[in-house]
Structure 1
Amino acid sequence: MIEYRAYHKTRPGKRARSGRAVRKKEKARTGERRPLQTRLRLIGWIAAALLSVAFTGVAFASAYSWLTRSPLFTVRTVDMNRCANVSLEEVWAVVRGGGPGTLWSVPAKEVAGRLSRHPWVRSVSVRKSFPDRLVVRVEERKPVAMVNLDALHYLDEEGRPFRRLTAYDPKNLAIVTGFSRQELLRKDPVTVGDLRKTLELLRGVEAGALRQNVSEIHFDAQEGYTVVTRDAGLQLKVGTMDVKEAIRRIEAAMPRISGMARSSGIVDLKTEGRIFVRSGE
């Protein structure tokens, strides 16, 4: 009886050990198969992603090709504000400078850059309005005077010479003298400042007693400003005083000298409260 029990006690232990060994072998085989399946699954995902990217790229390329060639987006209209010296034909010539194309292919910044080189253009903006319209807004320069730089040029509000006058251009503006072409081309700060003060004086006197009656305004670094009237050719000398004070003295003097000054006479206003008049030189 003892031997039988001993025999039966030892048999289950052996069976358990053999069962664990079998499970370990099966687990080892399964473990070998799982990395292979994971790699194959990963390769499949990568291939699917690459195919998706490729198809998307082809789709975008086809769409871009259609957009840039479709007659639906051909530029048919240029919406431009009314300008006195910049024509719609000139704008069309710039737009078509890059050859025929659709609104997608028109470089708005380049068109604006080329238009800004027009002498009358102070600022310009260009934007696209789909499907077939280009919107152009131009701010023109306003000539306020003429300057003699070997030839007459228009001056804008900021004192920039921007266009040489032709025989057909109106010449009814005052002439600014005393500045050389070389000085203005160098854009020396002192010269630019003197020119702007000269234009400030011109605007001031034309807004008051000498409205549309200024023929010339001359600047000299030593002698200062001289304003020449259009009707009688009077030379109003105000020296190098402040521009506002010069305007005030001219405003105060004009009613007093209008009846007594000779044609082409010289009126010295450099001394406060006194007016000296002498015949022209």
Structure 2
Amino acid sequence: MSLLFFAFVPGWFRIIMMGRAAGHSGVKSGKIRKAASIVVAVAAVSLLGWGAAKIIRSPLFTVKVVEVADLPGEAPVDAYSISILADVPTGKENLFSLDLAPVEKRILTHPWVKSVDIKKRFPQTVSISVGLKRPRALVQQKDGTLAYVDVDGSIFGEAGLRSFVDLPLLVGQYNDQAERMAALGLYDAWQNVAVNGKTEISSVFYDQEKGYRLFVSYPLMRFGKIDTNESGKTTIELGFIAQRDLVTHLAKIGSVLKYLSENNIVARQIFADLGKKIVVKITRGS
């Protein structure tokens, strides 16, 4: 005689044939107990899975809140714009099943957004924070329009002449990111060239055949004091300089500018692309 043991689990069942009731050895009884244990374990796991599925589909986890971390007041994009761009389906999507990758992709389409961090905060919230690009310069593009240059030399956004007026302007034949990075490196190195406390680069021109040309201003001294009404403005033909020689070469140019400043001399053009010599073309009357 055989016994049929039925194990019911939501949506399915298993039938296990037990050994004959009479005349079986202890080994047979052990097999029956082992089979029963397996059935109970499977039933328990199935019940847990069924319960978890019910919880996940519960309205309790429907996305209802989208939080965007505050951005600086001077930032070119605000939290509201980011939330609109994210387009999280509030009131429709379950937080467990919400795919964050498309949300991140939509936010990254904004020209000022560099990075996105999105987290699910249970039971009903999506939290978003963004990292913004940091413009290091303006660049004039081939069509004449202005754009920003990020710290890595990449171009982004659209800029006007009044945008970030303290940024240097990159002009000329910048064909790739590496050339723009080289110009930024040149600008950074120039910050060590201080003539009586102040010397500024307004733009960095680049020519594929002739190299770099700087447009700079420097203070003029009158009777031992800086003339606040007038400054010297000149172009410096820099050419191509190896990175290892850049600091030394700029220091020499700084010495020349210091002499011009202290003697109230306005230079029209400085030729610093002639090897070891630096030639200054001055304005008449200086």
With the shorter chain as reference, the TM-score category is 0.5 to 0.7
Judge conservation of contact 2:57–2:94 (CA < 8 Å) in 1: no
Structure 2 counterpart of 1:92: 83
| Match status 1:155 vs 2:149 | yes
Judge conservation of contact 1:197–1:243 (CA < 8 Å) in 2: no
- Which of 264, 267, 276 aligns to 2:280? It is 276
| Structure 1 counterpart of 2:206, one-letter code | F
Change in 2 beyond 3 A, CA 1:70/1:96: farther
How do 1:61-140 residues align onto structure 2 when only pairs under 5 Å count?
A: 61-66=53-58, 69-70=59-60, 74-75=64-65, 77-82=67-72, 84-100=75-91, 101=93, 103-140=95-132
Structure 1 counterpart of 2:6: none
How do 1:207-222 residues align onto structure 2 when only pairs under 5 Å count?
A: 208-209=193-194, 213-222=200-209
Judge conservation of contact 1:95–1:106 (CA < 8 Å) in 2: no
| Structure 2 counterpart of 1:214, one-letter code | I
Structure 1 counterpart of 2:248: 245
Offset, 1:58: 1.5
Give the TM-score normalised by structure 2.
0.67
Structure 2 counterpart of 1:228: 215
Structure 2 counterpart of 1:201: 186
Identity %: 19
Greater CA drift, 238-247 or 202-211: 202-211
Listed one character per residue, the Cα deviations across residues 222-276 of structure 1 (whole Å, up to 9, x for unaligned) are: 32221012665411112222332342133212122342235xx211123536432
Consecutive unaligned residues in structure 2, runs of 5 or more:
1-21, 218-230
| Structure 2 counterpart of 1:261, one-letter code | V
Greater CA drift, 223-232 or 84-93: 223-232
Q: Which has the higher helix share?
A: 1
Change in 2 beyond 3 A, CA 1:104/1:212: farther
SS of equivalent to 1:234? strand
Greater CA drift, 146-155 or 219-228: 219-228
Change in 2 beyond 3 A, CA 1:219/1:45: same
| Match status 1:260 vs 2:265 | yes
SS of equivalent to 1:51? helix
Structure 2 counterpart of 1:60: 52
Judge conservation of contact 2:61–2:96 (CA < 8 Å) in 1: no
Structure 2 counterpart of 1:24: none
- Paired with 1:93 and 1:266, the residues of 2 have a C-alpha distance of 52
Judge conservation of contact 2:62–2:90 (CA < 8 Å) in 1: no
Flag the structure with larger Rg. 1
Consecutive unaligned residues in structure 1, runs of 5 or more:
1-28
Structure 2 counterpart of 1:10: none
- Which of 23, 40, 53 aligns to 1:30? It is 23
Offset, 1:35: 7.8
Judge conservation of contact 2:71–2:79 (CA < 8 Å) in 1: no
| Match status 1:48 vs 2:52 | no
Matched residue count: 238
Give the TM-score normalised by structure 1.
0.68
Greater CA drift, 120-129 or 57-66: 120-129
- Paired with 1:167 and 1:273, the residues of 2 have a C-alpha distance of 36
Listed one character per residue, the Cα deviations across residues 170-208 of structure 1 (whole Å, up to 9, x for unaligned) are: 55532212325xx32xx5xxxx1x322211112232464
- Paired with 2:36 and 2:78, the residues of 1 have a C-alpha distance of 63
| Structure 2 counterpart of 1:260, one-letter code | I
